[in-house]
Amino acid sequence: MRIDVLNIFSLPEFFLSLPVQTPVAAPQQNNDNINIVLLGKTGVGKSSSGNTILRENRFTCGRSLSAFTSISSVERSLIDRRSVSVIDTPGFFCTNLSHEELSREFARSVFLSAPGVHAFLFVVPFGRFTKQEEDILKKVKGVFGKDVLKHVIILFTYGDECIRERIQTEIDGNEVVRKVVQSCQGYHVFNNKDLNDRQQVTDLLQTIDRMTERNQGYYTNEMYEWAQKTTWEKFWKILKDFFYAVIDFFQNLANSFDNSHWRQRMTPYMRL
């Protein structure tokens, strides 16, 4: 197949479609640590869910006209003999922050999760799911990259107000909710009014463990940096990596070439 060089440079999608090595989930090396990032709108119960996980009121929460969380912050605790870090983030569409400030805080949430995020919990009040939640999930992909959905679990709050045996049936009967849940790695339900219900936290950590095992690792800072690159930045990086790979191929080919063998075979002809 003949490739027109001019067409290649006018279509960066050509190289973006090549099977190149882009950042992938880093393997989990320490099973005793787990990092969780809370995502969602303001007032959906992110901070309360963080307190439920940690079993202490570490994050400020409550009813207010303004968001309590304006910067990403991390709190840690020992849970089931494991070190668990919870990173609370400002709400999507937070009116207290500009778009640039909000983007910076999301970047900080990944930095605070070093070496990586085991799970993003997309917090949604059960029974209050709207089309806007579907739009937020698109924004999550826009911020963290499309591969982030491999690390996202829906966390329904207000578990005390729903009949748990009917939750799956209700999800299946709502096209918008079903579509969002299917695009992520399942869901979990929290009752944030009962900090002493530790089984709900244990079950969540087990769900995260199974997801991390399926992903063969966690979401890394390199994956976030790749998601922030523009199409042209990705194009030039892939182009550079492609040509470096070609150079390495021919260098290895030259190094493996047996000169002595061919010199010996050509000696009789050199005497003619």
pLDDT, residue 77, reads 94
pLDDT, residue 254, reads 64
Nearest-angstrom CA–CA distance, 105 and 243? 36
pLDDT, residue 2, reads 45
Q: How many CB atoms lie within 10 A of CB 154?
A: 24
Q: Alpha helix locations (H) across the chain?
A: 5-10, 13-16, 46-54, 99-112, 131-144, 167-172, 175-183, 198-215, 221-228, 231-255, 259-270
Please choose, from the candidates 49, 83, 54, the residue with its C-alpha nearest in 3D space to the C-alpha of residue 190.
49
Has residue 9 been placed in a domain? no
pLDDT, residue 242, reads 57
Has residue 10 been placed in a domain? no
Q: What are phi and psi of 154, to 5 degrees?
A: -75, 125
CATH at 207: 3.40.50.300
Nearest-angstrom CA–CA distance, 90 and 219? 20
CA 218 to chain CA centroid, Å, is 8
Q: At what angle do helices 131-144 and 99-112 cross, to 10 degrees?
A: 70
Q: Which domain holds residue 268?
A: 230-272
Tokens describing residue 73: 């912050």
Same structural domain for residues 160 and 238? no
The per-residue DSSP string of 220-244 comes to EHHHHHHHHS-HHHHHHHHHHHHHH
Question: Which of 102-111, 130-139, 224-233 has the weakest average pLDDT?
Answer: 224-233
Question: Which of 2-11, 103-112, 139-148, 214-223 has the weakest average pLDDT?
Answer: 2-11
Has residue 11 been placed in a domain? no
Has residue 178 been placed in a domain? yes
pLDDT band (50, 70, 90) for residue 187: very high
Same structural domain for residues 66 and 198? yes
Higher pLDDT, 242 or 89: 89
pLDDT in tens, 3-49: 444 444 444 554 445 444 556 665 655 557 899 999 998 888 999 99
85 membership: H or E segment, kind and range: strand 82-88
pLDDT, residue 235, reads 47
Has residue 255 been placed in a domain? yes
Same structural domain for residues 68 and 84? yes
Structural domain total, the chain:
2
Question: Which of 48-52, 67-71, 260-264 has the weakest average pLDDT?
Answer: 260-264
